[in-house]
Amino acid sequence: MDVRIFNSADELADAAAQLFIETINQKNDAVLGLATGASPVPTYKRLIEAYKAGKVSFKDVKTFNLDEYCDLPKNDRNSYYTFMHEQLFDHVDIKEENVNFLDGNAADWQAESKRYSEAMAKVGGIDIQLLGIGTNGHIGFNEPADEFTDESFKVTLTQSTIDSNQKYFGDTPMPRYALTMGIGSIMRAKKILLIATGESKAKAIAGMLSGEVTPRLPASVLNNHADAVIMLDKAAASII
Ligand code: GLP
């Protein structure tokens, strides 16, 4: 893994956005795997600025998001669909038909998983996958488990994830289930960029970089990827 440590979250976001801009400028119809959460927001801000400055265009770019909550209307203010539109898509020239999400309300999640895998394969797979990391080492919504998953699946969220994400839902109880790309789908991306900032991620990062690959710490699987870049701020790197 190519580990890069930055003095600040701002410097990290500059570098992360730059990697995406280079990918898109080399291949105008690049396929991006995208993530939600607080971590990628500064990176998305810089991509919007770069688009407005004429440095990058999303005209032919395709995107696949990692995950989506179940039992939440698509346009709910807390859905990841809404999040991505507010944080990125509404501010750049991406075409709505090129934006892909798992449907958290699909009646048959297995059929939905198959549809998503086929859609990814049809466009030649993901060129660059952006990942955050949960405090328990989850990526997407692949929670610590006994085995690594492969294709997208329906997950029961752990209490630690619920505790971390409930704040976005205020007084409304947050969903207990989500659909997420599996570890296999994530690992099939040609390049992976994991970003982590802040002390709360330090333990998960140290575990991931210890070298042991275990589904108890899902992000550790990135040790097996041929082109994984890990960008950390000093706080996230504080105990490696
Ligand atoms: C959620 C998302 C993950 C994300 C994680 C960390 O659970 N499903 O993709 O990486 O939160 O979020 P944050 O960046 O807000 O710490």
Domain that holds residue 135: 2-233
Given 68, 112, 127, 143, the catalytic residue: 143
Which of 66, 138, 208 best tests ligand 1's pocket when mutated (most atoms within 8 Å of CB)?
138
Q: Record the pTM.
A: 0.97
Please give the full DSSP string across 125-142, using - where no structure is assigned.
Answer: S-SEEEE---TTS-BTTB
Q: How many residues does the chain have?
A: 240
Domain for residue 122, yes or no? yes
Domain for residue 238, yes or no? no
C-alpha to C-alpha distance for 218 and 151, rounded to whole angstroms: 14
User: What's the structural domain count of the chain?
Assistant: 1
Domain for residue 37, yes or no? yes
Ligand 1 in contact with 83 (CB < 6 A)? no
Question: Is 22 an annotated catalytic residue?
Answer: no
Atom of ligand 1 nearest to the CA of 36: 9
Mean residue pLDDT across the chain? 97
Domain for residue 240, yes or no? no
Domain for residue 239, yes or no? no
Give residue-wise pLDDT tens across range 64-120: 999 999 999 999 999 999 999 999 999 999 999 999 999 999 999 999 999 999 999
C-alpha to C-alpha distance for 169 and 167, rounded to whole angstroms: 5
Of 196, 199, 239, give the one whose Cα is nearest residue 219.
196
Tell me the two tokens of residue 12: 């990290």
Give residue-wise pLDDT tens across range 195-222: 999 999 999 999 999 999 999 999 999 9
Q: Which CATH number characterizes residue 105's domain? A: 3.40.50.1360
Tell whether the model's pLDDT for residue 160 goes beyond 90. Answer: no
At residue 69, what is the residue type?
Y
pLDDT at 164: 87
